[in-house]
Structure 1
Amino acid sequence: MSLRWPLTLSCSLVLLATACKGDDGDDDVADEVGTETDSETGSEEHVFVDATFEVRESVEQLHITHAEPGVELRVVDSSGTELQRALTDDLGSLIFRQLPPGEGYSVEETSGSEREAARELAVMSVAGSQPDQSFYDNQVLEPGYNYITTRDGTTLSAYVFLPGPPEDGPYPTLVNYSGYEPSKPGSSLADQFDLGGIDLSSLCGLFPVVCDAPSDPSGILGGFLGFATVSVNMRGTGCSGGAYDFFETLQVLDGYDVIETVATQDWVLGNKVAMSGLSYPGISQLFVAKSQPPSLAAITPLSVIAHTSDSVMRPGGITNDGFAYNWGENVLDGAQPYGQGWEQDLVEAGDVICEENQLLHGQLVDVIEKAEANPYYTPEVYDPLIPERFAGEIEVPVFLTGAWQDEQTGGHFPVLWEALSNSPNVRFTMFNGIHADGYVPENLLHWGAFFDFYVSERIPMIPPDLRDVAPLLFGQLIGDQVEFGPDPYTGYASYEEAFAAYQAEDPIKVLFEFGASSAYDPGIPQSAWQLTFTDWPPPELQPQRWYLQPDGSFAPVARRTRARLELPHRSAGLAHDHAERRHQPTAAALDLAARRARHRRGLHQRALDRGHGHGRPGQRRSLHSQQRRRGRHRGQHQRGPARRAGDVRAERLATRERARARSDPDHRAAPGSDPRRGRRAAGPERRVGRGANRDLLVRPRI
């Protein structure tokens, strides 16, 4: 699809009639000349000339780049009605959103005697934007760094990892899709994680992912299990083009296009792919799956939300100005031009696509401002962003894990069980724990089995070589030398027999007392026991209502007592006028408002501070000439939950030490336990109560 559209002019009647001349009435006209009246500025004679700015036609949008900065443009429909007008940003870019699908649109400058204009533009509908199959078939992805073209011509950066040469394929394939930095070119595990000085280079022959690790955890884990992985940056992030808008329609359609493009590759087994990822790339799976890409085989959303507002933004009606706002601010920071840092390296190495793709990043939609503008439930705003409402549109198998005490996305996920009503097979694993526990070995064993059944179509088995090295890897990545459990399906004679047994299992598993396994030291993420269920909530359970008692306990019977609340100001003899203070903001609210205002100012200022050029033709190199990559130490400016499998390492280690130091004898380390290893040495049996896992509720990892 062309990014530059010629100016097609028709004969028009203005105050001074101008006739089209030519023998057959269809001579080309270079300029449209006329005298028009601007409703805001009064009469002004002006000439429309062919636009030097570029317009990309999109789904319910028009994207303008390479205009002069600070120029006012307007969009006019085929009837001549102005729909919107706005100023271009500091990079000369602008997006007109929420346009009705149709043809005959124009984008014009609104001032000056000579005004640039682009004519005969089309705005696509969702249904009308569907490409032919050849659009996907003609795209070729190779191992390493790539770009995937979407239906409106926007290119998304992608990193492809193969567990072997392409000619040795095809390989079962997983796709990770998020606004973090999944497509950042891969590097060795040693470059990405602190491995404690351990040299893993000798393992590159057995596990190529050791020396070519993608920049997303599920890509690394999938690589160890023999999967090809494709890690893709969402529109408006990293080196992907377009502008960021939290799960807008275009993001969902992009995900559809990614799935269909990847599935056509010769190295993809069965031309079907699954999706992987925890948290943000887990949530994105729900949105992409609702668009029903034909080549999507299954999804595995780990640690996800069920309701954008109730789960995270305003749980219980109270604004989550902790994790939710911090996450939003960090994602927005990363969605600015060159916001993630690594883009600059590619541009300086000659990546002109990444450079061009930065132009629209400043047109992002501020999700925090959007939330503040809708403090109450607005169906047209929130409904498209609520997985619980659209989960019934998902028609592929689903493997989902979640922690009741998830400190980032909350424990609201179980409502998705009933919402996923049209999925042919849904597997839920639920447990006490923290956000990143979807990636612990006990869950990964069944995560890999799910992919083997629905993508690889083979009997699931952890490779012996991986079993040997796994405790060492887990010890360095999450601080716990935990082993994989036994393979549950290797006793079956065929894939079909094993798959039938898998499908006959109870679909819901609850892991109890994570961090209290008798086989490991306190705090290590392994369950003590488990139960399975056929439905959730279990039908045999009956809800009960318990009441607070005068002594602070709970009981099933209410006691009538006269309640009294003693406030500190009463005992101090201070007056308290409710009418006077009713609508006065608290100090905390004022501080929050000030912080948000600083953030919004900062988004604009950071773009200016980077010294970008204005993006006019012939000056594109100036877009990055003065840009300097942000200085960033390990662990700083992480833009979202569980972006690395090793994020929890320090927290796990601290949790283990706290558990050992408890004064309760039940929480002391057993005699003979080795502090350097997670697994217990010989020692007496002991039980660990719930308190041992309480410290797993740690601060959000942004």
Structure 2
Amino acid sequence: MLSIEPGVESVTITGAKPESRLQLLSSNGDPVVTVVADDKGNAHIAYIPSEHGTIESFADMIGMVADGLTLPPGNYTLIDEEAGDKHETRVLAVDDHPDPSLYEQELKEGFGYLTVRDGVQLSIMVRFPNENLYGPPPWPTVVEYSGYGPSNPDAAQPGTLIANMLGFACVGVNMRGTGCSGGVFDIFSPAQSADGYDVIETVARQEWALHNRVGMVGLSYPGNSQLFVAATRPPSLAAITPLSVLDDLWRQQWPGGIYNSGFTRAWLAQRDVETQVGGMAWDLARIEAGDKTCQANQEIRSLNMEFAEFGKALENFRPALSNRRAADLVGKIDVPVYLTGSWQDEQTGSRFALMLNEFKSSPRAIFTLFNGHHPDGYSPMVISRWFEFLSFYVAKRVPQLHPMVRQLAPSQFEKRFKYVAEIEEDRFGDLVDDYEAALARYEAE
């Protein structure tokens, strides 16, 4: 049975007759685009031609990308040309927030799923800090959100691993169309930003989340995602810590108008591999172990685009891409920001510096810039200041490293990150009982 699932600037169709033609009409009755369902009866509309046309294959999509548009929010009619049926639907905007009752979902420790505004289920992994060290809940809480494996129950991402060790509850969330999450993957899409808003609001309502406000952590991909999510201004977002980020994915792929056949091409190609059915191995293992939700969520993976080729077709920057350009969005961020970057970053380069003056709505923007490499956002120097920032703006307490963590940290850093880290002494230890005074000193630096 045909099902239409309108989302943020997109429409997903399932249950259609394979290879049937599905025409989308605007609210004025004008034809927008015709798509042909794949051999599983699925179709997805997020990009449209400047004039009505038919998309039968990924090659057709590539052909119209040069002067095409993204699907605007609004009311539409979908016509199943073979059956003659008409279906009214409404495409959402990022700012079309759901009923707040959506955010009352209970999230338990361990692996699970979180439902966002269009009904898509995102796979999550909730990790609590060690109660023997940090006591019972509530705990300061952070989210790590990307298309890597943040919800992999068997392997925490670096940001989660470190924050958890330092006393934070951590929620790893896989973007739609990745891991065990449902939906269609689309790099830095408005839907991903809206999902992030819903994630923040849901996590913040958990009884174990201190102050009912949360922060975000992550380097590179989960660093970039923070910029897009924070730009949607979730009311319960406390602060973000984007490490080793980029300002513009298009210019990252076309620096100086020349195609980047190095890291960016390889990175996008890897996303194409990992967003296939069972593409991350751990998601396949969950399916084989009986996770029916994960299996059902991957039934539309055929709709995930080949982004390595898609990006290569975008030879010219167009205004329609601006909502996927971090530099155009960071001015909306209204929470404290701790951003780091390396001038010699071998993966994302140093263009991040071009947007540093744009964080004009943030009440506190701290930038740590250094000579080094892409992963150096997790170096001891940076992590010490990162912990201070999260303590002040998420935990709302004076930063004080637990003595046992200080003792064990060097060996753990060596084991996980292949270097020995000596953690500096607490800089605000003399003000441990006076948060306001410590914060004032910190902000005066």
TM-score (ref. length: structure 2): 0.89
Deviation at 1:445, TM superposition (A): 0.9
Deviation per CA, 1:406-438, whole angstroms, max 9, x where unpaired?
000101222232111111111111111110000
The answer to whether 1:59 aligns with 2:8 is yes
Structure-1 residue corresponding to 2:23: 74
Highest CA radius of gyration, 1 or 2?
1
The answer to whether 1:91 aligns with 2:40 is yes
Structure-1 residue corresponding to 2:419: 480
Distance of aligned partners of 1:355 and 1:448 in 2 relative to their CA distance in 1, 3 Å threshold:
same
Deviation at 1:384, TM superposition (A): 2.0
The answer to whether 1:413 aligns with 2:359 is no
Structure-2 residue corresponding to 1:147: 113
Match of 2:302 among 359, 362, 365: 362
Structure-2 residue corresponding to 1:280: 221
Structure-1 residue corresponding to 2:67: none
The answer to whether 1:223 aligns with 2:164 is yes
Deviation at 1:91, TM superposition (A): 3.0
Distance of aligned partners of 1:494 and 1:318 in 2 relative to their CA distance in 1, 3 Å threshold:
same
Deviation at 1:79, TM superposition (A): 5.8
Match of 1:330 among 270, 282, 285: 270
Structure-1 residue corresponding to 2:55: none
User: How far apart, in 2, do the equivalents of 1:413 and 1:77 lie?
Assistant: 38
Deviation per CA, 1:283-316, whole angstroms, max 9, x where unpaired?
0100111100000000000001123234x22233
Is residue 24–residue 76 contact of structure 2 (8 Å, CA) maintained in 1?
no
Show the 5 A alignment for 1:547-562: none
Structure-2 residue corresponding to 1:105: 77
One-letter code aligned to 1:170? P
Distance of aligned partners of 1:256 and 1:55 in 2 relative to their CA distance in 1, 3 Å threshold:
same
Match of 1:183 among 132, 151, 163: 151
Deviation at 1:268, TM superposition (A): 0.3
Deviation per CA, 1:144-198, whole angstroms, max 9, x where unpaired?
0111111111111000001156992111001000001111113xxxxxxxxxxxx
The answer to whether 1:244 aligns with 2:201 is no
Structure-2 residue corresponding to 1:451: 390
One-letter code aligned to 1:479? K
User: How far apart, in 2, do the equivalents of 1:122 and 1:305 lie?
Assistant: 33
One-letter code aligned to 1:367? F
Is residue 55–residue 118 contact of structure 1 (8 Å, CA) maintained in 2?
no
Show the 5 A alignment for 1:112-511: 115=83, 117=85, 119-127=87-95, 129-137=96-104, 139-164=105-130, 168-186=136-154, 214-310=155-251, 312-381=252-321, 383-492=322-431, 493-505=433-445
User: How far apart, in 1, do the equivalents of 2:185 and 2:356 lie?
Assistant: 30
One-letter code aligned to 1:395? D
User: How far apart, in 1, do the equivalents of 2:357 and 2:393 lie?
Assistant: 22
Is residue 217–residue 240 contact of structure 2 (8 Å, CA) maintained in 1?
yes
Distance of aligned partners of 1:105 and 1:485 in 2 relative to their CA distance in 1, 3 Å threshold:
same
Deviation at 1:104, TM superposition (A): 6.2
Deviation per CA, 1:446-486, whole angstroms, max 9, x where unpaired?
11111100011111122110111112112222322221112
User: How far apart, in 2, do the equivalents of 1:339 and 1:66 lie?
Assistant: 24
Deviation per CA, 1:493-539, whole angstroms, max 9, x where unpaired?
5111111000000xxxxxxxxxxxxxxxxxxxxxxxxxxxxxxxxxx
User: How far apart, in 2, do the equivalents of 1:444 and 1:149 lie?
Assistant: 32
Deviation at 1:105, TM superposition (A): 1.9
Is residue 336–residue 361 contact of structure 1 (8 Å, CA) maintained in 2?
yes
SS at the partner of 2:285? helix
Is residue 8–residue 194 contact of structure 2 (8 Å, CA) maintained in 1?
no
Deviation per CA, 1:528-562, whole angstroms, max 9, x where unpaired?
xxxxxxxxxxxxxxxxxxxxxxxxxxxxxxxxxxx
Identity among equivalent positions (%) equals 42
User: How far apart, in 1, do the equivalents of 2:317 and 2:24 lie?
Assistant: 31
SS at the partner of 1:433? coil
Deviation at 1:85, TM superposition (A): 1.8
One-letter code aligned to 1:185? P
User: How far apart, in 2, do the equivalents of 1:398 and 1:304 lie?
Assistant: 13
Distance of aligned partners of 1:352 and 1:471 in 2 relative to their CA distance in 1, 3 Å threshold:
same
One-letter code aligned to 1:408? Q
One-letter code aligned to 2:371? N
Deviation per CA, 1:82-116, whole angstroms, max 9, x where unpaired?
432222223321112354544462341x34xxx27
User: How far apart, in 1, do the equivalents of 2:352 and 2:90 lie?
Assistant: 40
Deviation at 1:404, TM superposition (A): 0.9
Is residue 93–residue 359 contact of structure 1 (8 Å, CA) maintained in 2?
no
Deviation per CA, 1:560-580, whole angstroms, max 9, x where unpaired?
xxxxxxxxxxxxxxxxxxxxx
Is residue 445–residue 462 contact of structure 1 (8 Å, CA) maintained in 2?
no
Distance of aligned partners of 1:125 and 1:451 in 2 relative to their CA distance in 1, 3 Å threshold:
closer
SS at the partner of 2:329? helix
SS at the partner of 2:360? coil
Is residue 233–residue 333 contact of structure 2 (8 Å, CA) maintained in 1?
yes
Is residue 400–residue 429 contact of structure 2 (8 Å, CA) maintained in 1?
yes
Show the 5 A alignment for 1:538-553: none
SS at the partner of 1:365? coil
Is residue 9–residue 191 contact of structure 2 (8 Å, CA) maintained in 1?
no
User: How far apart, in 1, do the equivalents of 2:435 and 2:123 lie?
Assistant: 36
SS at the partner of 2:429? coil
Question: Which is worse superposed, 354-363 or 80-89?
Answer: 80-89
User: How far apart, in 1, do the equivalents of 2:32 and 2:254 lie?
Assistant: 34
TM-score (ref. length: structure 1): 0.57
Deviation at 1:374, TM superposition (A): 2.4
Deviation at 1:217, TM superposition (A): 0.9
Deviation at 1:78, TM superposition (A): 5.8
User: How far apart, in 2, do the equivalents of 1:432 and 1:122 lie?
Assistant: 49
Is residue 123–residue 174 contact of structure 2 (8 Å, CA) maintained in 1?
yes
In the alignment, structure 1 segments of 5+ residues that lack a partner are: 1-51, 187-213, 506-702
Is residue 106–residue 121 contact of structure 1 (8 Å, CA) maintained in 2?
yes
Name the count of aligned residue pairs.
419
SS at the partner of 2:197? helix
Deviation at 1:76, TM superposition (A): 3.9
Is residue 359–residue 365 contact of structure 2 (8 Å, CA) maintained in 1?
yes
Distance of aligned partners of 1:427 and 1:498 in 2 relative to their CA distance in 1, 3 Å threshold:
same
Structure with the bigger percentage of strand:
2
User: How far apart, in 2, do the equivalents of 1:432 and 1:126 lie?
Assistant: 37
Distance of aligned partners of 1:315 and 1:82 in 2 relative to their CA distance in 1, 3 Å threshold:
closer
